[in-house]
C-alpha cells in the first residue's frame, strides 16, 4: 500500500499487487513449431494453453538468462538464442508487474523439467500458424500469450 497524492491534490491509499518482473517466451523449434505449455490454472478452473512464462528471482540481473531458465524449467527445452522483443505492464491499475517478452530460437528438448511443487505443466508443440489462428479465434484465453503472439506478428519483417 502506498500513500498517494493524486494530480488533483486528493490524498488516498493505493493498494496494489507487488510482483517481481516476469519473462514470457515465444519458443521456436528448429522446424519452426512453437513450444506451448498446458497448465492447470485454479483461478479460472481449467487447463490453460499458452507460452512458457515465469517470475524472475531477486538476484536475476539478466532477463534473457531468466527466460532461458524458465523455458528449461517449464518445458525441458533449451534455446540456442533468446531475443527480447516487447515489454508490457499487463495490469498497471492493480499490479506493478512488468512482463519481458522474448523470442527463443533453436529450441530442443534437452533438459528435464524442474517444476515447482505446485506446478503441473505439460509441454506441447504446434505450428506458428495454428497458434496465431487459435489466438485470433479466441481459443487461447491467456492474456500473456495473446499479447505476445500478436505483438510478435505485428513486428515480423
Kindly list the structural domains of the chain, giving each domain's residue range(s) and its CATH number in brackets, ordered by start.
2-155 (3.90.79.10)
Q: Is the predicted pLDDT of residue 147 greater than 80, yes or no? A: yes
For residue 129, give every residue at least 6 positions away whose Cβ sits within 8 Å of its Cβ, in sequence order, or none: none
What is the SS3 assignment for 124?
Answer: strand
**What does pTM read for this prediction?**
0.92
Residue 151 confidence class, pLDDT cut points 50, 70, 90: very high
Amino acid at each position: 500500500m502506498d500513500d498517494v497524492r493524486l494530480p488533483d491534490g486528493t490524498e488516498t491509499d493505493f493498494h496494489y499487487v507487488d510482483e517481481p518482473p516476469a519473462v514470457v517466451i515465444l519458443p521456436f523449434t528448429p522446424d519452426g513449431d512453437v513450444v506451448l505449455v498446458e497448465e492447470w490454472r485454479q483461478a479460472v478452473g481449467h487447463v490453460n494453453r499458452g507460452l512458457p512464462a515465469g517470475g524472475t528471482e531477486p538476484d536475476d540481473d539478466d532477463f534473457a538468462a531468466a527466460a532461458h531458465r524458465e523455458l528449461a524449467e517449464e518445458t525441458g527445452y533449451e534455446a540456442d538464442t533468446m531475443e527480447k522483443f516487447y515489454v508490457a505492464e499487463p495490469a498497471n491499475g492493480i499490479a506493478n508487474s512488468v512482463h519481458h517478452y522474448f523470442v527463443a530460437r533453436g529450441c530442443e528438448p534437452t533438459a528435464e523439467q524442474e517444476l515447482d511443487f505446485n506446478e503441473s505443466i505439460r509441454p506441447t508443440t504446434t505450428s506458428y500458424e495454428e497458434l496465431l489462428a487459435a489466438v485470433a479465434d479466441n481459443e487461447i484465453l491467456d492474456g500473456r500469450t495473446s499479447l505476445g503472439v500478436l505483438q510478435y506478428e505485428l513486428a515480423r519483417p
